[in-house]
Amino acid sequence: MIESKPKRAVIEVDAPLLNDISDLIESGSIPLLKNILSEIYPPDIALIINNLSKEDSLELFRVLPVEISHDVLLEMNEYPREFILSSLSISETASLISEMNSNDAADIIGWMKKDPADAVLKQVSGVKATNIRELLSYGKNTAGGIMQKEFVDVKKSDTVREAIEEIKKEAPFVEQLYHVWVTDEARRLLGIVSLKKIILSIDSPGITIGEIMNSEVISVNVNMDQEEVARVFRKYDLVSIPVVDKNDKLVGRISVDDVVDVIEEEYSEDVAMIVGSDADELESKSPVQIAWMRLPWVLITLGIELLAGFVIKMYDDTLGRVLLLASFMPIISAISGNTGLQAATITVRALATGHATLTRWWEPIKRSFETSLIIGISCGFVIGIIAWLWYGKLLFGGLVGFSMFTSINISGLVGTSVPMLSKSLGFDPAITAGPFETAFQDVVGISIFLSLATLLIKWLL
């Protein structure tokens, strides 16, 4: 008789639930606690642990069944995960590692300090330990760094019957098996065959894999950047992809769930860099580290804004004659700066996802100019009307409106072109889209406004 498993439910991790869990831990009600946890998905259990005290988080983790404890560990924030790993014995950590896929195990070992990590690997089976060491030897953000060593490959000369036997032997160790890779004796990649095609060929067990395989297989090199790997997945609508070395030898595979994590990580990283921060700021950085990381950006912004102060100082006479000009300077600089930052953010993401390329650089610039033109006309018209009614002179309204229009368009051009220029020079475009670019656009907006005001002031008075 097959034992039925409890049905898990999607839950909301709120204060009452956390209080109930804490009370159960404090009272030592382990059977009841196990019963509750059996009905909760691992990511939700990880969220619960993230919100418990250190001591309670460790107690709760020790209650978890071994078959889900490693999944929970991978979903935790850095602080509770670090505490739990440091609290577990070498043998307990080795048991966890032994239950994981190679890429997840490599992540855990990579989070640990060198001495305990080496001690854990000594207690892990030889093949798995070798696979983990190989994965750790690749760059963290490369295809090799995110691939799994567990995969199924068969020979071109194998019959369908032989291929099925190989799949039965290796499948228990492989998550999300969609395809079987076809290799030669040196394990060089030759092709791909889907499980569907193998199943449909069961009635003809004597035919060879070479007769049903597809030789047009898409693969990625072990040193390819993970962001480029994600782009390949998106472009070709893949669910898994083989990873090969420089000799075209099959060394691993990447599945779509790994790529989803990469996309989220890269997006968080780009957004954080745009504001001069770090994607892991809330989880892994102390206030001193955060301040030290942000300070250079703030100082750069301060320096550029001081330049804006010097520009204003140069136009003291103009501002003295028409004091109302000062009321519109922050409006123009803020709107133009915001427009430029919007353009920069969109460009950074377009470059990251492949929607914009350096070989066709004029397309995003043209599109940004057309967008800025519409925004500039709209905002310029509105602020011009307000300035006219406020000051009582049409020419003054035209001056403010034209300044707004010009500043927005220049900011849009700068926001689009600077990230592309940065990428062409080998820099991360997200860095140039940070606070200092907004400050630079403030200077541009103020300079344009006051320069036009100086030229036209004699017609106003």
Residue spans of the chain under pLDDT 50: 1-4, 279, 281-282, 461
* CA gap 153, 213 in Å, rounded: 12
What is the model's pTM? Answer: 0.65
Among candidate residues 125, 135, 63, the one with its CA nearest the CA of residue 99:
125
pLDDT at 391: 79
Among candidate residues 325, 364, 329, the one with its CA nearest the CA of residue 344:
364
Tokens of 151: 């995969």
158: Cβ–Cβ under 8 A, 6 or more apart, which residues? 166, 208, 209
CATH of 15-142, one of 1.10.540.10, 1.25.60.10, 2.170.150.20, 3.30.365.10: 1.25.60.10
pLDDT at 419: 82
Three-class secondary structure of residue 251 per DSSP: strand
pLDDT at 400: 83
Task: For CATH 1.25.60.10, list the domain ranges present in the chain.
Answer: 15-142
119: Cβ–Cβ under 8 A, 6 or more apart, which residues? 90
pLDDT at 29: 85
pLDDT at 280: 53
Q: Where are the alpha helices (DSSP H) in 51-157?
A: 54-63, 66-75, 78-87, 90-98, 102-111, 114-122, 126-137, 143-146
Strand partners of residue 180: 193
pLDDT at 124: 87
Tokens of 268: 């968080």
pLDDT at 78: 81
Q: What is the CATH number of domain 285-460?
A: 1.10.357.20
pLDDT at 254: 92
Task: For CATH 1.10.357.20, list the domain ranges present in the chain.
Answer: 285-460
Task: For CATH 3.10.580.10, list the domain ranges present in the chain.
Answer: 153-271
236: Cβ–Cβ under 8 A, 6 or more apart, which residues? 218
CATH architecture of 153-271: Roll (3.10)
